[in-house]
Structure 1
């Protein structure tokens, strides 16, 4: 059922976000196809899910309607999702959120 849901979201160009090992579900669902992606998974262990040619060197990748990230990029991932969902009032709001979650906002 999860695979079908992911495929339907992709067909409708809805945003799909996966962090750390969740990108495996995108690979199983065949939505990664010829798209760049980020993951924390050792992709060699899942040869039917991932094409090494499209693995990004970046911790966070936004490609078409997919947002993928390595597990250590959880703040950047959350901000990217927030941006696509128009959750921030402006750039200052986005930066304040980043500082808050990186524990750099004092006061």
Structure 2
């Protein structure tokens, strides 16, 4: 069975650690967006109307940060599957 951590393409070895680094960064970005939304919402909370642009943008950042946090966690939890092409000779052996 092949190791999923690295593969060779056109003579270059490509590591899966680059993807893992970006996926582990997503929850941090989500938390930062939520904190930014909370600060914006608190700064513009004096007038609670839908015409208050700062408050609406802050609420949007809170909702968006939650989505990024959840998706970043899901991407790390769900395992990646490797697509294997089956050659015709191997396929006839299995039948």
TM-score by length of 2: 0.25
Q: Which has the larger radius of gyration?
A: 2
Q: Give the helix-richer structure, 1 or 2.
A: 2
TM-score by length of 1: 0.23
